[in-house]
Amino acid sequence: MCGITGFLDFATDKDLAELESRAQSMADTLRHRGPDGKGVWADPEAGIAFGHRRLSIIDLSEAGHQPMTSANDRYVLSYNGEIYNAPELRREMESEGHAFRGHSDTEVLVEMIATRGLDKTLPELIGMFAFSLWDRKTRTLSLVRDRIGIKPLYWGQFGRVFLFASELKAIRAHPVFSAEIDRGALVSLLRHNYVRAPHSIYRGVSKLGPGEMLTVTADGEPVITNYWTLDPDHAGAFAGGDQDETSMINELEGLIKDAVGRRMISDVPLGAFLSGGVDSSLVTAMMQAGSSTAIRTFTIGFDQRDYDEAVHAKAVAAHLGTDHTELYVDPSMGRDLIPRLPQMFDEPFADASQIPTYLVSELTRRHVTVALSGDGGDENFAGYTRYLWADRIWKHLESLPRPIRKLGAAGIRTLSPASWDKIISMLPKRFRAPQAGERLYKMADILPADSIDAVYRGLISQWQTPGVAVPNGTEPGGLLWDDGLAKVIPDAITRMQYLDTLTYLPDDILTKVDRASMAVSLEARVPLLDHRIVEYAWRMPRALKVKNGVGKYPLREILYKYVPREMIERPKQGFAVPIGDWLRGPLRDWGEDLLSEKRLAEGGYFNPAPIRRFWTEHQSGRRNRQYQLWGPLMFQAWLESTGAP
């Protein structure tokens, strides 16, 4: 894995040394993404410069050095990622008479482009990647991001300088960059706890989307096209004809075995994240089945029972026979990490599971350089509880007049969440649930909804009306508010999966995994997001994904060939930390300082009143406002860390 950056300066011819120095200074901000090597390339006549930081995984020799020029001297490539079918592609090209200098996938990629063209190369690739390509003949810069959005790529134009990078910090390092906070993106942060693409926290800087290619020349504006899309017209339209359930699941198992096997190719030590849930257990089981030695597995645990999955991971590891390592996290470890999060995530990011994700990455990196994870199973196979919950809720709500539903919401709010907790604790065990009072209040938020899509938006929103907290901030629209999507994807659960795959997955889950793992120079690979699996899952009937009120049915059926059902069947548990308790305890002074009325007012980005109300409610114990407060806290900490205006 690597870090890439560069720029195209249209203004005037530049001195070679100046271009190289500037590209190097930008690339040096990405050293954590590539500690094993660095490189720059520049063409003063064209005003183009690439910078690169290398984490050596395949071909550790200088033959894998980047930026890399094609043998015909036409193309220059700076690349971040892994092409998992590079060995087959290489053999194809060798059979056509092409000779290679080394065995890196970088060389395979640049030579395929040189001989077949970029448009014909992209459909052939199986992998995760973000790369920049300079065509010296046409003087065209192309930026490309993988189909699912596993690897990040930012871009922006300031005056006559076009900038790009794996992370915002490299763009900030160029002197032409001008930092202006996008208040609409800040509203998005409060709603989702992340900034939705294509926006970034800065005006003038965008995220290249999954499956997108951007081209820019000196003669025109940047042009973005899709070389791959997740086609909603194919939702549930299984292409296997009359295949029965068993044959579909068997075919899926073959795809997963192939995807996992390809991601086990490495010239450096390799392991797996293991939580003990369906997805990570399945990936681990496939890895162990394909290995002659015990694979390394890693998990972290917490002393608080509601947050600890380590005991389940340990049982799965023992059953599969892996070489398992676990670390129980002292609360101080998580708290001590918090001041480093703004620099690590580079723009405000407030999914608090960023903390355990970093801690398990740091633990894993002590032993290996590559780790496989189970991310993607929930989106592909309807694993999130909210899908089924939203579907059930709406079936009950849609027949009730909205005035009655509004009265119901008001009734819920007559008691505090703590009071509801006490009442529910006296009910039979099957009716109890953690934070039941807060869940009822979440229900009150969505009772007035006028559609299941509005129910879904309510469930994924941390702030229901985030605009009230951001003066002059207009929330970006986009796919989440596209009423026409219901006509294309009539099934509500499938529609929610589609929306999560295009928003929450790349902008939250994959961003979190990328930044946390790359902060410790660990390459994380996600086999369940192989695009062939995504396409296959997308065509599967929803009735095969959800059975008897439980999601991920195909994955469970495959997993139970390797792990006993009783080890896995339990309520879904998120990868979380007790942020709410910490904000009332050891993090209270830190939070009070960042969210003081004076500081919020002086900063000018927030209306202090709603944030102070949430803070007071949380400290009093009347409400658990950790999810609403973590976004403003991460933004304020990010402002302090970066010195942004």
Task: Return the CATH number at 91.
Answer: 3.60.20.10
**Cis peptide leading into residue 198 (ω within 30°):** yes
Answer whether residue 185 is part of any domain: yes
pLDDT in tens, 322-378: 999 998 887 788 778 988 999 899 999 999 999 999 999 999 999 999 999 999 999
- Side chain identity at residue 37, one-letter code: G
Report if residue 245 sits inside a domain. Answer: no
SS3 220: coil
What's the token pair of residue 198? 């294509």
For residue 34, CA distances in Å to 4, 28, 84, 104 come to: 9, 9, 19, 16
Sheet with strand 296-301: strands edge to edge: 323-328, 296-301, 270-273, 370-372, 523-525
Alpha carbon distance, N-terminus to C-terminus of the chain: 32
Q: Same structural domain for residues 324 and 454? A: no
Phi, psi of 478 (to 5 degrees): 115, -165
Structure tokens at 63: 């033959």
State mean pLDDT over 17-35.
94
What residues are paired with 75 via a beta bridge?
A: 135
Which of 622, 608, 620 minimizes the C-alpha distance to 632? 608
Burial 549-572 (b: 16+ CB within 10 A, else e): eebbbbbbbbbbebbeeebbeeee
Q: Is position 251 within any domain?
A: no
Q: Which residues pair with 76 in a beta bridge?
A: 69, 134
In 347-491, where does DSSP find H-type helix? Answer: 354-365, 377-381, 385-397, 402-412, 417-425, 436-446, 452-459, 485-488
Whole-angstrom Cα distance, residue 522 to residue 367? 10
pLDDT in tens, 69-87: 999 999 999 999 999 999 9
- My answer on whether 584 and 542 are in the same domain is no
Mean per-residue pLDDT of the chain: 91
Assigned domain for 481 exists: yes
pLDDT, tens only, 447-460: 999 999 999 999 99
**pLDDT value, residue 137:** 95
The domain in which residue 587 lies consists of 579-642
What is the pLDDT, as a whole number, of residue 571?
64
Residue 573 lies in a domain: no
The pLDDT of residue 2: 84
Angle in degrees, CA 324, 330, 332, rounded to 5 = 140
CATH number at residue 272: 3.40.50.620
Kindly state whether residues 488 and 554 are assigned to the same domain. no
In a domain, 128, yes or no: yes
Q: How far apart are CA 323 and CA 307, in angstroms?
A: 23
Domain count within the chain: 4
Q: What is the mean pLDDT of residues 612-627?
A: 94
What span, in angstroms and rounded, lies between the C-alpha atoms of 307 and 305? 5
The model's pLDDT over 562-609, given as tens digits with 9 standing for 90+, comes to 999 998 886 665 556 788 988 998 899 999 999 999 999 999 999 999
pLDDT at 56: 66
User: Which ranges constitute the DSSP H helices of 460-564?
Assistant: 485-488, 492-502, 504, 510-518, 531-539, 542-545, 553-559
Q: pLDDT digits over 76-131, tens only? A: 999 999 999 999 999 999 999 998 988 889 999 999 999 999 999 999 999 999 99
**Which amino acid appears at position 291 of this protein?**
S
For the chain, give percent helix, strand, coil, nearest 5: 50, 15, 35
pLDDT tens string 226-281: 999 988 776 666 555 557 899 999 999 999 999 999 999 888 889 999 999 999 99
Averaged pLDDT, 157-184:
95
Helix axes 608-620, 626-642, angle to 10 degrees: 120
% of the chain with per-residue pLDDT over 90: 73
Same domain, 349 and 489: no
DSSP state of 203: T
> Are 410 and 545 in a shared domain?
no
Instruction: Out of 448, 469, 498, pick the residue that ends a domain.
Output: 498
Q: Which two three-digit tokens encode residue 30?
A: 């990405």
321-330, 405-414, 511-520: which is most confident: 511-520
In this structure, the answer to whether residues 45 and 187 fall within a common structural domain is: yes
Are 323 and 184 members of one domain? no
- Return all residues near 633 (Cβ < 8 A) that are at least 6 apart: 350, 591, 594, 595
pLDDT value of position 27: 96
In sequence order, what are the residues at sequence separation of 6 or more whose Cβ sits closer than 8 angstroms to the Cβ of residue 415? 423, 437
Q: Rounded to the nearest 5°, which phi and psi values hold at 216?
A: -145, 140
Would the pLDDT of 204 be above 90? yes
pLDDT at res. 645: 63
Residue 14 pLDDT grade (very low, low, confident, very high; cuts 50, 70, 90): confident
Residue ending a domain, choose from 548, 568, 588? 568
Res 492 pLDDT > 70: yes
Please indicate, yes or no, whether residues 486 and 556 belong to a single structural domain of this protein: no
pLDDT for the residue numbered 4:
97
533 and 611 both lie in a single domain: no
Beta bridge partners of 131: 79, 144
Residue type at position 419: S
Shared-domain flag, residues 417 and 474: yes
Question: What predicted TM-score, i.e. pTM, was given to this entire model?
Answer: 0.94
Q: Judge whether residue 41 has pLDDT over 90.
A: yes
38 occurs within a structural domain: yes
Which pLDDT value is given to residue 435? 78
Same domain assignment for residues 115 and 61: yes
Low-confidence winner among 238-247, 380-389, 480-489 (lowest mean pLDDT): 238-247
From the candidates 2, 186, 272, 594, which is the catalytic residue?
2
Residue 524 has pLDDT above 70, yes or no: yes
Residues 559 and 604 reside in one and the same domain: no
CA dihedral 611, 613, 615, 616 (to 10 degrees): 160
Q: Give helix then strand counts, H and E, for the chain.
A: 31, 17
- The answer to whether residue 239 is domain-embedded is no
Residue that is last in its domain, among 452, 477, 498: 498
pLDDT of residue 446 exceeding 60: yes
For residue 2, indicate whether it is catalytic: yes
Q: How confident is the model at residue 428 (pLDDT cuts 50, 70, 90)?
A: confident
Peptide bond into 87 cis (omega under 30): no
